A and B are shown apart, each in its own frame.
Chain A
Amino acid sequence: MKRLLATAVAATLAFGVPALTTAADEEINVVMFGMPYTNGLQKLAGDFEAETGIKANIDVIGQDVFENRITLSFTGATGDIDVVHTPVIQVQRWVAANWLKPITAEVDAMAVKSDIMAGPLDAYVINGEQWAVPYMAATGLMTYRKDILEEAGVDVPDTWEDMLSVAAKIHNDETAAIAMRAVPGQGFNMFIFPMVMRAYGGKFFEDYTGGDLTPAINSPETLEALNVYMKLLNEYGPQGAGNFNFAEVNAAAQNGQIAFALEGTGVVAQIVDPAKSKFADKTGIALPPAGPAGRSPAIAVHGLGIPASAKNPELSARFIEWAVSTETMTKIALSESFSNFTTGPVAQNPEVIEKYSKVHPDFLTMQADALNLAIGHYRPLLPDWPALGQAIGENINAALNGLVSPEEALEGAEQDMKDILGM
């Protein structure tokens, strides 16, 4: 028994002590959630250390795990994170909670600043301060099955009205016409549905850009859009379409179970990738359909920020500058499925151009067109947006699944918005 006890204590100390004594000055902890860029960056950590002598512990984790870890770290001001993955959709909330450090001076001093696309960079300016540096701007595109459209003798739908008539012609038991994200969430159905809503002239607030934040989602325009979204998914969607998320849409498209998918570029890149999809060579891409109010592709910007409690912000800023540099971005664009980089010169690299035109000849240009059309506040840039998006998304999903009528869903969404905003 004594020997057992001694072994156990020795083992515990042996496991614990090295980990307790690893903290060195020239070392930073980077926490990000998994996506092609972050996976690629993690593999390049050695390059950063070779160039700067700073050891970067890059943790790439699942998004749910990430949310939990950073919330605890930020609320406890623990200083255990030096660089944090900062989605633009969260940055308002984080800034309001004093979780981030303003980095205007640090970014101004970065040589790479002039190469970073202005739109995504500006998305991180709040109250005149820069709070993060973008590395990726995803947008929304539509994929379509060329063979199915040819067989039916129809063109690629340019508007949502066209989409309804094309869907009616091509939908059958074997291949459903269309799938879109339906699961409630600000990054799930509320990443996709506003592409329909804004095309019909629907909006979240009376006058967002003018500063009038009176909820205005319960409008005839949004109702019309919701009816189109519901009709497409309920009548021309695959079985269980009311519970699809990006993974199911991706799988259905890769598996030939749908003709159209409206998705973020990260998923679209997988649908048209011959290494991942059996139907890649039969799949075309197009801009999202337009409506009476025009075309409004989604936009999602991700970047790197420095937590307010970071102990060594100078090292953090050096890491960010390296991470968004043309050289690092180009390496990742070549090694991963990462086409939505925000450092401009990467797009001029011949190897990058060759790689993505092999995946799909129109991919890079179509993505640039969609980004040009996208409005920065596609999803409102507000501290309360995560809660608002969740509440609206739940009402939209309830209507889609027949739990409430579309009218009730929009009334409910507007009331929820008022409750969240304290109106």
Chain B
Amino acid sequence: MRDVESLRKGEIALRDLSKSFQIGGRSLRVLRNVNLDIRSGECLAIVGASGSGKTTLLRILAGLEAADAGKVLIDNEPITGVGNERAVIFQEPRLLPWQTVLENVAFGLEVRGGHACHAKERARHYISLVGLGDFADAYPKQLSGGMAQRVGIARALTVQPEILLLDEPFGALDAMTKLTMQEELERIWRDENVTMVLVTHDLEEAVYLADRVLVLPKNKDSNAKIIEIDLARPRDRSEVGFVQYRKDLLREFGLH
């Protein structure tokens, strides 16, 4: 099935992915035979109870951890580790405290061999895109939590990845900041035309941002479930359809 669609970049395929951890001499299975196709340019949210392996799955996609069995294909190429087509946004901003906002944002591109001047120039563009234009010369300790996380997002965008992997990116932020950041992230995702994989424990966030939601089961013998979110964007959190999807997801966890 090689059509035009598969020529687009940022396509991910997971084939029979399994992963166990050794804890206290016991083998703990976190992922069992996961098969999944993530379309180019889509936003896929991964939700699941703690211990369901959602963060592990993201770390395997990032190349920070290796799977025990199975493979990950990106644009039909198996991955062997971290790669230039991917960038990760962590729960913590993970900024270098001795560098200014501008230096931090340019860091990723400079490490990847970008020319320093060029990297700074592009970094400035993304700093203003996340609304921190006036803070380019500030140090991380001078920023609030939400601002610091924006810097982390700008750093990931500056390398212009095909795939953006987000590990509970707004989990540490207060409720108001979180809503603003979700709106901004959606705008950025549409403008940058990037494939997004978002791990979250916030079901509303999943419904707001995702095209599809992958629900990882806590019980490894049952299969992961995919829920398609068929709502027009930008989404209205109070609309009936939105609330219904949220209910459906809650029911997946036995909640009402």
On whether the two chains bind one another, the answer is: no
B: residues with CB less than 8 A from A are: none
